[in-house]
Structure 1
Amino acid sequence: MTNIFEQAKNFYKEANLKCFNCGNEIKENELFSVTLTLPSKSKMPVGVLDKVLAKQANKVLCSSCK
């Protein structure tokens, strides 16, 4: 059983966004494009942006692959 402190620490851990085409990691302050299917109201993702995009995005493209 994981304690609550560890769960909270992992919740705020950054997710690594990678480009769908070239596999390069998207860095902080870098422009990128995302395709995302709008979910229903009951399944609307809420949370830290990089984690939501890592889980929900159809494609993430870096500025050079865009």
Structure 2
Amino acid sequence: MAGKKSIAEILESLPEEERLILTMHYVYQVSAAEIAGKLGVPERAVLTVIASGRSRLISSIF
């Protein structure tokens, strides 16, 4: 699959807060509500990052 990036490469290319949210959610299975509380941001913002990050990961992998 020439031209496709690994998940690690995709995550590395993201802004730090997005990378942190996606890692907490998908690697450590932390809920959006918990992430929001720990980062001091609205839960809706966390959910938005998770949704857009998932779409970006899927389109980059396939």
Give the shorter-chain TM-score range: under 0.3
TM-score normalised by L of structure 2: 0.27
Higher gyration radius (CA):
1
**Bigger helix fraction:** 2
Which structure's residues are more often strand, by fraction? Answer: 1
- TM (normalized to structure 1)? 0.26
